[in-house]
Amino acid sequence: MEPVAAVQSEYSLWWRGSETGLLQLLEEFGIGFVPFFPLGAGFLTGQITADTKFTASDFRASVPRFSADALKINLALVEVVKRVAAARQATPAQIALACLLAKSPWIVPIPGTTKIGRLEENLGAIEEDLNDADLAMLDEASASLPLEGERLPATALEMVGR
């Protein structure tokens, strides 16, 4: 039997469920971690506003965290990411990715994109060496700001047992 090299699961400043035991277990066994949705399905890029409307074909239209009412509350986290980004002359996406990269060398986020410009932007996260104050501000905001809405539609949560 081959050893497990890496585990993939959701992880971002917007959803930190992997911190409740999974990351510690992976570190203990020397297993890599590949976070998906490290930009919160685009939420942490700063491109989504309280006025953003998703088409019926966009899965975010059925995600409670992306509802109009939830966005009004959840955007407080993005504002903190934007502040750090502005101070460092970076983009919010770069800061959100750099925050995950700073946690451990065995954490390698995979932001999805179909656009070369976004890929180049995301690669810029490697150059962002966040200092302790930046990391503390992002961690505090992620841990303490209220978030509204489930991260997935109820039907999806039922299928995976939350």
- From first to last of its 162 residues, the chain has per-residue pLDDT tens of 778 999 999 999 999 999 999 999 999 999 999 999 999 999 999 999 999 999 999 989 989 999 999 999 999 999 999 999 999 999 999 999 999 999 999 999 999 888 999 999 999 999 999 999 999 999 999 999 988 988 776 655 454 454
HSE-CB for 100 with a 13 A CA cutoff: 33
Query: Taking a C-beta distance cutoff of 8 angstroms, is the pair 37, 110 a contact?
Result: no
| Helix, strand, coil percent values for the chain (each to nearest 5) | 55, 5, 40
pTM of the model: 0.90
